[in-house]
Amino acid sequence: MELKILHFYPDLMSLYGSYANVSILKRTLEELGNTVTVERVDLGGDADLTHADFVYMGAGTERAQKAALLYFSKLGDAVKAAADAGVTMLFAGNSMELLGKTITDDAGKVYEGLGLADFTAVQNKKRFVEDVYGHTDLYEDAVVGFVNRCSVITGVETPLLTSMDMGHGNEGPCGPEGYHQGSVFASQLTGPILVKNPALLKIMVQAVYRHRGETCPEIPVDQYMAEGWAITAEQLKARCTK
Amino acid sequence: MRKFLAIVVCKLGRFVGKLVGKGSSMPGKFALKICPDILRRVQLPPHIIAVTGSNGKTSTVEMIATVLRGQGKNVIYNAEGSNQVEGVTTLILTHATLGGKVNADVLLLESDERYAAHSFKYFHPTEFVITNLYRDQLTRNGHPESVFDAILPAIHPDTELILNGDDPLSSCFAIGHENVKWFGLNRCATDTETPTGVYHDGAYCPVCHAPMEYEYVHYNHIGAYRCTSCGHARPTPDYAATELDLQNGKLILDGQFTVALAFRSIYNVYNILAAYAACRECGVEGAAIADTLSSYILKNGRMQTFTLGQHHGTLLTSKHENSIAYDTNLRYIASTNEDCTVLIIVDAVSRKYFTSETSWLWDIDFDQLNVPHVKRVILSGMYRNDLAERFRFTGVQNWEVIPGIPDAAAAIRDSGSEALYVVTCFSDRDKLLNLPDVKKEG
């Protein structure tokens, strides 16, 4: 297949190695025999979501997030239409907050979100920065990662992580965390979550194939990713039991 | 009375602490409990110089202390790196008379960027050097703008700011502040036309988020920037490195003062520049500063040399979780042009706290090792798989994984005699240096 990944605001929403989620997805899809094009969408740039197979945005500073929202909300109808059409999307870090109804900053100013989901985000001066060891209904393996957030998100009915043994979730410690509806995935877990969690990468790849009406072939195991996940999971699990 | 008691308790605590080898923050903690505003009540020296920022704090403070002491000034500073308010209190009170007069010409403080506002609640620096603001220890700091927001309340209107004009973010501290002196590096031969590195924190203006343009770039997003909309731009420096020849280790300050560089890194240049600017503001002549800093070798142990088998090794220590520090060390290796092996160790991400967070590896430009003279790259430590996956996305071909640090050292020892560079963090350096086959120098 010829597949297109839309990477929104790669220079602005780029904290914590966010780009690596696109890199690993592209490589995996290519290893399965596909031709993959990554189209950067810079701030203020237009984007055609109708032919996208994967839409991605990473994490930014709170001020960068507001700049991203200013332009991304102009594409709100197109994003909603693509979501309805089953295009796979991942919003990592605080780009997740763009999908909700409102974002309230730490000074109390309210920003309108895309309204793709029913949640609201309220940002605080205090940040929650910690490792994450959690669980999702999508697969058995633990979800590992790191959270670096300053917001409380309320109103998520369908979280990505249903529980957490370690980490700060949408509304407080120990989850639930993130958002998942159909082919739209969002998580405040920062950085290369698809590299750290091979099982979540597999879910994304399968969703891309499903949207195309194709059967997803067996995804080869990447030794470094698998062992990296195992070591991190072991370290974090041991920490949870302390 | 409380002031007197706090000073006595602090002095006694410090004395006992030194005897039993304890750290320097506890006496200050007790003193603050006895007299919370003790730092307002003491008589401080005429110059209070604070240094903060993501990188270069310790080195800059060391250099300032050396220069000022060379000028006969009595300088006290937190050499042990206790850079939060308790450690600062210990430092001040142990050098105070029982009446509360601090016996020094200069109080020099390395200040933790997140806690500066707390440290300067009851007094403020006369000169405040902010070296830079980069992505640094995001597991603790959030991100550079949150660090900016944490430092901002620490800046008193009467304080003179000494800022890095080449850094688009930390230069924003000058907005609305009258008393600012700038340091910066003018265009030099090793510059690029556009930002380098994996990510581009200079892509958008930190003030208005319009695109930024660069006339030249020294490294990453540090250089001559200009916002296309609001005009936020590199200022003309008051104190400038006007010529830099890293290859031959020569730096010229303000067109007339030559410094011979002991460590030929652009990082070192910025630390020298910051120290130069601060010392000039304290009235020291440029020639005297250049003389003192020429061939100055830092005492902070970040560059340790050693032998391992037939290899002469250099340990390039930088914090894990600090991609620009890594980039600078990799750039140094790339600039050496001598055949070498590079050992990268990520075993414990931090020496101060637990984390398994390795996102920062993706912010490092490991492609700088994709040069002919880097013959072999070995990835080792607990997080070698995360390193390996990162390397799969570079053009570097000759890398391998050796999980155990002793095994990696043995493999190097048993083969070849090329130079060896070890890139790692304070948390992991001794795991190599303490191996029996490793013979430390100096």
User: Under CATH, what is the fold of the domain B2-182+264-275?
Assistant: UDP-N-acetylmuramoyl-L-alanine:D-glutamate ligase (3.40.1190)
Res. A12: pLDDT tops 90: yes
Of B37-41, B227-231, B252-256, give the lowest mean pLDDT range.
B37-41
Nearest 5°: phi and psi at B386?
Answer: -65, -40
Res. B300: pLDDT tops 60: no
Nearest-by-Cβ selection for A12 from B204, B356, B385: B204
How confident is the model at residue B148, as a pLDDT?
94
- Give the torsion sign (CA, B322, B327, B330, B331): negative
How confident is the model at residue B363, as a pLDDT?
95
How confident is the model at residue B86, as a pLDDT?
86
B404 vs B393: CA distance, rounded Å: 23
List, for residues A177-200, the tens digit of each pLDDT value.
999 999 999 999 988 999 999 999
Nearest-by-Cβ selection for A228 from B140, B198, B386: B386
Could you write out the three-class secondary structure of B322-389?
Answer: CHHHHHHHHHHHHHHCCCEEEEEECCCCCCCCCCCCCHHHHHCCHHHHCCCCEEEEEEECCCHHHHHH
Verify whether the Cβ–Cβ distance A225 to B199 is below 8 Å.
no
Q: How confident is the model at residue B145 (pLDDT cuts 50, 70, 90)?
A: very high
B49 vs A58: CA distance, rounded Å: 39
List, for residues B344-390, the tens digit of each pLDDT value.
999 988 777 788 899 999 999 999 999 999 999 999 999 999 999 99
Res. B26: pLDDT tops 90: no
**A103, A184, B139 from A122: Cα distances, Å:** 6, 21, 21
Yes or no: is domain A2-240 CATH 3.40.50.300? no
Nearest-by-Cβ selection for B362 from A43, A191, A236: A191
Res. B105: pLDDT tops 60: yes
How confident is the model at residue B9, as a pLDDT?
83
Here the tokens at position B332 are: 């140094």
Q: How confident is the model at residue A242 (pLDDT cuts 50, 70, 90)?
A: low
Residue of B nearest to A19 (CA): B362
Report yes or no: B389 at the A interface, CB cutoff 8 Å: yes
Residue B145 falls in which region: left (phi positive, over 0), alpha (psi -120 to 50) or beta: alpha
Task: Map residue B149 onto helix, strand or coil.
Answer: helix
Report yes or no: B139 at the A interface, CB cutoff 8 Å: yes
Here the tokens at position A143 are: 């979800």
How confident is the model at residue A78, as a pLDDT?
96
Strands B438-440 and B419-424: what pairing?
A: unpaired
Higher pLDDT, B406 or B319: B406
Verify whether the Cβ–Cβ distance B357 to A191 is below 8 Å.
yes
Strands A102-104 and A120-135: what pairing?
A: parallel
List, for residues A153-178, the tens digit of each pLDDT value.
999 999 999 999 999 999 998 879 99
How confident is the model at residue B286, as a pLDDT?
96
Contacts of residue A123, Cβ cutoff 8 Å, sequence gap at least 6: A62, A103, A104, A105, A106, A150, A151
Average pLDDT over residues B117-122: 86
Verify whether the Cβ–Cβ distance A148 to B388 is below 8 Å.
no
How confident is the model at residue B302, as a pLDDT?
58
List, for residues B314-332, the tens digit of each pLDDT value.
999 877 788 888 998 999 9
Q: How confident is the model at residue B23 (pLDDT cuts 50, 70, 90)?
A: low
Q: Which of B34-43, B97-106, B396-405 has the highest mean pLDDT?
A: B396-405
List, for residues A131-157, the tens digit of each pLDDT value.
999 999 999 999 999 999 999 999 999
Report yes or no: B204 at the A interface, CB cutoff 8 Å: yes
Nearest 5°: phi and psi at B384?
Answer: -65, -30
Nearest 5°: phi and psi at A64?
Answer: -65, -40
The domain limits of chain B are 2-182+264-275, 303-440
Task: For residue A19, list chain B residues with Cβ-Cβ distance below 8 A.
Answer: 198-199, 362
Verify whether the Cβ–Cβ distance B389 to A228 is below 8 Å.
yes
B13 vs B19: CA distance, rounded Å: 10
Q: Which residue(s) pair with B182 in the sheet?
A: B163
Q: How many CB pairs under 8 A join A and B?
A: 110
Q: Provide the ipTM.
A: 0.96
Nearest 5°: phi and psi at B278?
Answer: -65, -45
Name residue, tokens 């739209």. Answer: A184
Closest-CA distance, A19 to chain B, in angstroms, reads 8
DSSP summary character for residue B98: T
Res. B151: pLDDT tops 80: yes
- Mutate one of B356, B365, B402 to test the A interface: name it (highest A CB count within 10 A): B356
How confident is the model at residue B299, as a pLDDT?
55
Average pLDDT over residues A38-61: 95
Neighbours of B149 (CB within 10 A): 16
Average pLDDT over residues B130-135: 92
Residue A112 falls in which region: left (phi positive, over 0), alpha (psi -120 to 50) or beta: beta
Contacts of residue A166, Cβ cutoff 8 Å, sequence gap at least 6: A130, A131, A132, A133, A134, A174, A236, A239, A240
Verify whether the Cβ–Cβ distance A17 to B363 is below 8 Å.
yes
Name residue, tokens 């011979």. Answer: B260
Share of chain B above pLDDT 90, in %: 65
B49 vs B38: CA distance, rounded Å: 19
Res. B49: pLDDT tops 80: yes
The domain limits of chain A are 2-240
Of A2-6, A126-130, A168-172, B205-209, give the lowest mean pLDDT range.
A126-130
Closest-CA distance, B388 to chain A, in angstroms, reads 7
B188 vs B34: CA distance, rounded Å: 54
Q: Mean pLDDT across chain B, nearest whole number?
A: 91
- Give the torsion sign (CA, B203, B207, B213, B217): negative
Taking alpha carbons only, the member of B302, B253, B248 closest to residue B279 is B253
Verify whether the Cβ–Cβ distance A195 to B389 is below 8 Å.
yes
Verify whether the Cβ–Cβ distance A192 to B139 is below 8 Å.
no
Residue of A nearest to B204 (CA): A12
How close are the terminal C-alpha atoms of chain A, in Å? 48
Higher pLDDT, B234 or B301: B234
Higher pLDDT, A214 or B2: A214
Contacts of residue B89, Cβ cutoff 8 Å, sequence gap at least 6: B10, B27, B28, B29, B31, B32, B38, B39
Indicate the helix (H) or strand (E) that contains B87: helix B85-94
Name residue, tokens 């003790």. Answer: B38
Res. B177: pLDDT tops 90: yes
Closest-CA distance, A25 to chain B, in angstroms, reads 12
List, for residues A75-111, the tens digit of each pLDDT value.
999 999 999 999 999 999 999 999 999 999 999 999 9
Report yes or no: A225 at the B interface, CB cutoff 8 Å: yes
Verify whether the Cβ–Cβ distance B199 to A19 is below 8 Å.
yes
Do residues B317 and B249 lie in contact, with contact meaning Cβ atoms separated by under 8 Å? no
Share of chain B above pLDDT 70, in %: 97
Here the tokens at position B227 are: 């916002």
Yes or no: is domain B303-440 CATH 3.90.190.20? yes
Neighbours of A220 (CB within 10 A): 9
